[in-house]
Structure 1
Amino acid sequence: MSRDILVLDHLCKSFGPVEVTRDVNLVIREGERHALIGPNGAGKSTLFHLISGNYKPTSGSIRLDGDEIGGLDPARVNRRGLARSFQITNIFSGLSVAENLRLAVMRRYGLQFNFWRRVTHLRRVNAEVDDLLQKIRLTAKARSIAGDLPYSDQRSLEIGMTLASDPKVILLDEPMAGMSHEETEYTTDLIRDITAGRTLMIVEHDMDVIFTLADRITVLVYGEIIATGTPQQIRESARVKEAYLGEEAG
């Protein structure tokens, strides 16, 4: 039986008098793909910001593999084993695909400020870059300038940079945003491949993606969890249909 890798315990976040996240209790199991869904303004992005260290909780606990990470800054959260991609593509557009990945891998080894060793001598780093290129299906575009890539390839690159830290938990924030149907299908398949055996938490508005990709789904409405379960359980939940999914649940 898989262990609990990410645990949110009575997690709350307020901005002044406005309570955005209300007493959230959630357990993510090691190796599962867990989707977070809800209407606009439900608090999904706030929850991701709390987990990844961009916001500090007002109260409650966030534990990653048994260690408290609530209130740590994003860099320290990343070093503990959690990596996140954002809604807006976050790559170095003037560098090549391989250079983007190389910087991400070097950061994990603390080599990003090492000016005395030639990059070509960093055999372990280069080997990992080659492996990442293969995983994200961009080997043929390794020397291409990242900013010139099609949008779906840029998102693939960002996912590769997220993987470069070898995280215990991956957070993907709306990875399909702005994609065509064909790009969405391709990226869904890519995410399924590269997260095999890893723990994934994903926010996504495309319900077709969610119901085909996720092992379990949590529904957030007005900052509160109203349901957590398998895709089938969420489809059949009358409360979820009333609060959010509507006809999309059919």
Structure 2
Amino acid sequence: MTQGILSLRGLRKSFGDTEIIRGVDLDLVPGERHALIGPNGAGKSTVFHLVSGHLKPSGGNVVFDGRDITGQSPQAINRQGLARSFQITNIFPKLTVFENLRLAVMRPHGLQYNVWSLVDRHPRAREGAERLLEQVRLQHRAQTIAGEMSYSEQRSLEIAMTLASDPKVILLDEPMAGMSNEETAYTADLIREACRGRTLLIVEHDMKVVFALGDRISVLVYGQVIATGTPQEIRGNAAVREAYLGEEVAA
């Protein structure tokens, strides 16, 4: 089996006496789209917080690209090539789309705090922003104020900002939340296209998206992974249907 680019081993997280994550083992192989699903309260977002450094584990390890990153800061983890988007759109709403992307491109070089004085000296930032605009199909929105765009367009912008650091692994936390069916289909196709060749870990509640987009799926129930497999294997897993999917997926 191909060596995992992201591996969780015995990952645990407790808040006081309450154990939320109870020994999660998970491996992502390079280039796969891996969906993490489960009922509300299963601990999916907590896993994302632990992997991305926003929470420190109570036990276990997170290994990324052969290095143990357990307990490191989000900034240190991001610099090593792991990027994350959040459930709530994380953009600069009063800046244009192009300005958002230019800032995102400059950030890995430590230039974001001097952006207004330095930006014209860094044509690569402009070129990088233009490439990202094309990747997420927002060329026509370059000079639009980000906060004035539709929700799905703002999510597209956030995906582009996540790509700006050229990450090896991307965590997408409910990227289709709050979207119409048409917006969901468009965004799923955009993710497939813009993130081609990158490793994705996706939390998503829309089962049609999960089964269409995921190469493999892991099911988290009460803080434990009860199954991992291809979409077909997960569909046919009786324990998964009983614990979470029910007849919705069987149908």
| Deviation by residue 1:162-190 (Cα, 9 ceiling, x = unmatched) | 00111110000000000000000000000
Q: Which runs of 5+ in 1 are unaligned?
A: none
Distance 2:192 2:247 in 1: 26
**Alignment match, 1:238:** 238
| Deviation by residue 1:29-63 (Cα, 9 ceiling, x = unmatched) | 01000000000000001000000101000010001
SS of aligned partner of 1:114: helix
| Deviation by residue 1:143-179 (Cα, 9 ceiling, x = unmatched) | 0000000110000000100001111100000000000
**Alignment match, 2:67:** 67
Distance 1:92 1:118 in 2: 19
- Which segment drifts farther, 206-215 or 74-83? 74-83
**Alignment match, 1:86:** 86
For 1:44, give the aligned amino acid.
K
1:116–1:190: structure 2 CA closer, same or farther, 3 Å change rule?
closer
**Alignment match, 2:162:** 162
SS of aligned partner of 1:4: coil
Q: Does 1:42 align with 2:42?
A: yes
**Alignment match, 1:180:** 180
Distance 1:174 1:200 in 2: 12
Distance 1:212 1:68 in 2: 32
Shift of 1:110: 1.3
Q: Does 1:15 align with 2:11?
A: no
SS of aligned partner of 2:19: strand
Counterparts of 1:140-151 in structure 2 under 5 Å? 140-151=140-151
Shift of 1:115: 5.8
**Alignment match, 1:96:** 96
**Alignment match, 1:29:** 29
- Which segment drifts farther, 1-10 or 44-53? 1-10
**Alignment match, 2:226:** 226
Shift of 1:116: 8.2
CA contact (8 A) 1:36 1:204 kept: yes
**Alignment match, 1:203:** 203
CA contact (8 A) 1:53 1:74 kept: yes
RMSD: 1.1
SS of aligned partner of 1:60: strand
| Deviation by residue 1:74-126 (Cα, 9 ceiling, x = unmatched) | 11111111100000111000000010011111101111133685423311111
CA contact (8 A) 1:236 1:249 kept: no
Distance 2:241 2:116 in 1: 59
CA contact (8 A) 2:103 2:115 kept: no
CA contact (8 A) 1:38 1:44 kept: yes
Q: Normalized against structure 1, the TM-score is what?
A: 0.98
For 2:4, give the aligned amino acid.
D
Runs of 4+ in structure 1 deviating by more than 2 angstroms, as ranges, are 113-118
1:160–1:17: structure 2 CA closer, same or farther, 3 Å change rule?
same
For 1:85, give the aligned amino acid.
S
CA contact (8 A) 2:100 2:161 kept: yes
User: How many residues are matched?
Assistant: 250
CA contact (8 A) 2:10 2:59 kept: yes
**Alignment match, 1:213:** 213
For 1:83, give the aligned amino acid.
A
Q: Normalized against structure 2, the TM-score is what?
A: 0.97
CA contact (8 A) 2:35 2:216 kept: yes
CA contact (8 A) 1:7 1:27 kept: yes
Distance 1:116 1:231 in 2: 47
Shift of 1:249: 1.7
- Which segment drifts farther, 73-82 or 235-244? 73-82
Distance 1:193 1:57 in 2: 33
